């Protein structure tokens, strides 16, 4: 790293005040955002909107002097929010303000879905009506994979020729033009996805099923001269596929290969597969990316410390109405499952996460988190190592765990809980100076954590450091295999693993 870059990093450490935590917390975006923190929204999300309406009605009739102005304020708030939803978000950065540019609008061949505010991801579960093997967890992993592949394809380092079957002709053309242009990149790497939100969904009934996903991403662009620039980006990606298309089998869900026959990617030329002799593009067999729109792109990495206010901690938990019946269904399938053991494992993983984070040892969390979450932990921990500081969370402890949602499909059970925790959060340099936060003043926060486990799996959740398959003391490789029995334990086949951490203001069900 150059001296200048190091100086900037140190400056960031010193200038900013407080607040990071394992996984990045709210500091991922490097500053506070004006995204609404209340849940509600569309779909079957919050169970608390009804209470609010009742309260307002009661106020209007019993205390009109208070009630009517309150109703007006609420209406203005929601209308304003709905109008803002379509526009580029406003960003305020805690460090040096950067320009927010709108770049590379690639129009979709088919119109993007109309609903632009965040939709609960559980809405996608409706696809199981036309595709019984559909799994939200696997879908998100696949989308993540596609997104990273497209980013790499923007540079000469990508495999654009082989992924055309997953792109609309228009998008493939645009990417090719960019990769061949005068300002072409040498590589795009260090792609870390901080958040993925569902911003559009056609439902399962239309002939072409379309989905829009919004990403918050950090990546590094490497130019031809070897220069590097890290960006913080908000992108929206539109995908579609024929209603009759079926999900990939689980074994192929985390690889890109022929959408029809599964032949390795090298067999694809354009949208033609040399192996099965089919035109496999256009969403006939698999998801096809119609557009990738960059909403914001800022030249900066995440702040290691930032004056980021905790928002949403006092909001009611967004509980899906199906959460309780679905958790009972898991209990029916697996008599060894119970809430106490499950939350015991959640607490065990919480502890391991704190240790890995403050100790800057990613390996300690490896057995308990999915591959994608692990990659983002490694990324954060590397940043702290480079900046020669670490984020501490003394006396970190869970105060409460609420059930928020349960999704079950043929591959995974996914349980989302809201974890309320407290601890003294501060960042300290390697030579012992407290750079931000407070060693004595505790802070309370809440986050939504999603755990996954193979839906065929039965048995009690482990709360010790042993391999969930063979019981040997945990010694897990960096790719997630037990060193004794070689089983891959981090995909949730054997026991609950943490696959996602979302902030209150990002979570929408
Ligand atoms: Zn094929
Ligand atoms: Zn093992």
Convert the pLDDT of each residue in 174-214 to its tens digit.
999 999 888 889 999 889 888 899 999 999 998 999 999 99
Q: Residue 288 C-alpha to ligand 1 middle, in angstroms?
A: 15
Of all ligands present, the nearest one to the C-alpha of 469 is 2
Q: Residue 256 C-alpha to ligand 1 middle, in angstroms?
A: 12
- What pLDDT band is residue 472 in, cutting at 50, 70 and 90? confident
d(CA 329, CA 385): 44
Of all ligands present, the nearest one to the C-alpha of 267 is 1
Q: Residue 339 C-alpha to ligand 2 middle, in angstroms?
A: 25
- What pLDDT band is residue 157 in, cutting at 50, 70 and 90? confident
**Predicted pLDDT at 278:** 95
Q: Are strands 228-242 and 185-201 parallel, antiparallel or unpaired?
A: unpaired
**Predicted pLDDT at 57:** 52
Of all ligands present, the nearest one to the C-alpha of 367 is 2
Convert the pLDDT of each residue in 395-441 to its tens digit.
999 999 999 999 999 999 999 999 999 999 999 999 999 998 999 99
CATH of 3-31+309-503, one of 3.10.450.240, 3.40.50.300, 3.40.228.10, 2.40.30.10: 3.10.450.240
pLDDT at 67 over 70: no
**Predicted pLDDT at 92:** 21
- What pLDDT band is residue 24 in, cutting at 50, 70 and 90? low
Q: Residue 459 C-alpha to ligand 2 middle, in angstroms?
A: 16
Of all ligands present, the nearest one to the C-alpha of 280 is 1
Q: Residue 479 C-alpha to ligand 2 middle, in angstroms?
A: 14
d(CA 252, CA 142): 10
Q: Residue 292 C-alpha to ligand 1 middle, in angstroms?
A: 25
Mean pLDDT of the chain: 80
**Predicted pLDDT at 264:** 94
pLDDT at 15 over 80: no
Residue from 291, 294, 295 nearest 107 by CA: 291
Q: Residue 494 C-alpha to ligand 2 middle, in angstroms?
A: 10
191-217: buried (b, 16+ CB within 10 Å) or exposed (e) per residue?
bbbbbbbbbbbbebeeeebbbbbbbbb
pLDDT at 229 over 50: yes
Q: Residue 488 C-alpha to ligand 2 middle, in angstroms?
A: 8
Q: Residue 210 C-alpha to ligand 2 middle, in angstroms?
A: 40
List, in sequence order, every residue forming a beta bridge with 49; answer none if it has no partner: none
Q: Residue 344 C-alpha to ligand 2 middle, in angstroms?
A: 21
Of all ligands present, the nearest one to the C-alpha of 277 is 1
8 A C-beta contact, residue 397 and residue 236: no
DSSP state of 451: E
| Residue 443, number of CB atoms within 10 A of its CB | 18
Q: Residue 481 C-alpha to ligand 2 middle, in angstroms?
A: 8
Q: Residue 472 C-alpha to ligand 2 middle, in angstroms?
A: 6
Domain regions of the chain by residue span: 3-31+309-503, 101-298
Q: Residue 480 C-alpha to ligand 2 middle, in angstroms?
A: 11
For the chain, what is the total number of helices (H) and then of strands (E)?
9, 12
Greater confidence, 22 or 447? Answer: 447
Residue from 385, 432, 434 nearest 6 by CA: 385
Q: Residue 138 C-alpha to ligand 1 middle, in angstroms?
A: 21
Of all ligands present, the nearest one to the C-alpha of 472 is 2
Q: Residue 252 C-alpha to ligand 1 middle, in angstroms?
A: 13
- Torsion over CA: 350, 353, 359, 363 (sign): positive
Q: Residue 87 C-alpha to ligand 2 middle, in angstroms?
A: 49
Q: Residue 64 C-alpha to ligand 2 middle, in angstroms?
A: 66
**Predicted pLDDT at 45:** 32
Helix (H, G, I), strand (E, B) or coil at 494: coil
Q: Residue 470 C-alpha to ligand 2 middle, in angstroms?
A: 4
Q: Residue 461 C-alpha to ligand 2 middle, in angstroms?
A: 15
Convert the pLDDT of each residue in 480-500 to its tens digit.
888 888 888 888 888 999 999
The DSSP string of 317-364 is: P---TTHHHHHHHHHHH-TT--HHHHHHHHHHHHHHHHHHHHTT-GGG
Strands (E), 41-184: 101-103
State residue 129 phi and psi, 5-degree precision: -65, -35
| Residue 291, number of CB atoms within 10 A of its CB | 23
Of all ligands present, the nearest one to the C-alpha of 268 is 1
CA 471 to chain CA centroid, Å, is 31
């Amino acid at each position: 790293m150059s001296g200048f870059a190091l100086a900037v990093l140190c400056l960031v450490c010193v200038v900013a005040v407080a607040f990071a935590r394992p996984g990045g917390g709210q500091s991922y975006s490097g500053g506070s955002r004006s995204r609404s923190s209340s849940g509600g929204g569309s779909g079957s999300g919050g169970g608390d909107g009804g209470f609010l309406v009742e309260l307002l009605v009661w106020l209007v009739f019993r205390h009109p002097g208070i009630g009517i102005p309150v109703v007006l304020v609420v209406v203005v708030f929601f209308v304003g929010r709905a109008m803002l939803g379509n526009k580029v978000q406003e960003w305020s950065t805690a460090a040096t303000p950067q320009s927010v540019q709108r770049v590379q609008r690639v129009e979709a061949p088919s119109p993007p879905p109309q609903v632009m505010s965040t939709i609960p991801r559980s809405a996608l579960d409706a696809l199981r009506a036309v595709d019984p093997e559909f799994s939200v967890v696997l879908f998100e992993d696949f989308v993540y994979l596609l997104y990273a592949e497209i980013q790499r394809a923007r540079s000469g380092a990508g495999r654009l020729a082989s992924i055309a079957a997953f792109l609309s002709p228009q998008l493939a053309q645009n990417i090719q033009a960019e990769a061949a242009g005068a300002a072409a990149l040498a590589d795009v790497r260090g792609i870390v996805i901080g958040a993925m939100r569902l911003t559009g969904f056609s439902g399962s009934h239309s002939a072409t099923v379309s989905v829009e996903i919004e990403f918050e991403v950090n990546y590094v662009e490497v130019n031809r001269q070897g220069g590097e620039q890290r960006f913080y980006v908000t992108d929206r990606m539109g995908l579609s596929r024929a209603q009759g298309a079926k999900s990939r089998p689980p074994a192929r869900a985390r690889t890109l290969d022929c959408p029809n026959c599964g032949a390795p990617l090298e067999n694809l030329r354009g949208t033609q597969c040399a192996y099965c002799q089919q035109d496999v593009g256009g969403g006939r067999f698999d998801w096809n990316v119609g557009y990738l729109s960059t909403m914001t792109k800022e030249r900066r990495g995440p702040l290691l410390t930032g004056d980021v206010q905790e928002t949403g901690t006092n909001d009611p938990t967004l509980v899906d109405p199906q959460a309780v019946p679905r958790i009972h269904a898991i209990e029916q399938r697996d008599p060894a499952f119970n809430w106490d053991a499950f939350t015991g494992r959640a607490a065990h993983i919480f502890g391991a996460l704190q240790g890995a984070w403050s100790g800057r040892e990613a390996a300690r969390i490896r057995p308990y988190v999915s591959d994608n979450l692990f990659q983002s932990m490694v990324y954060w921990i590397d940043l702290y190592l480079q900046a020669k500081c670490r984020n501490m969370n003394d006396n970190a402890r869970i105060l409460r765990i609420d059930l928020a949602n349960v999704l079950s499909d043929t591959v995974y059970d996914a349980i989302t809980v809201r974890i309320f925790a407290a601890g003294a959060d501060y960042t300290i340099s390697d030579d012992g100076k407290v750079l931000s936060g407070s060693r004595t003043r505790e802070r309370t926060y809440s986050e939504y954590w999603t755990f996954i486990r193979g839906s065929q799996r039965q048995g009690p959740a482990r709360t010790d450091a042993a391999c969930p398959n063979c019981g040997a003391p945990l010694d897990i490789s960096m790719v997630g295999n037990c060193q004794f029995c070689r089983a891959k334990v981090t995909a949730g086949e054997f026991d609950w693993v943490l696959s996602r951490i979302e902030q209150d203001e990002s979570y929408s069900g």
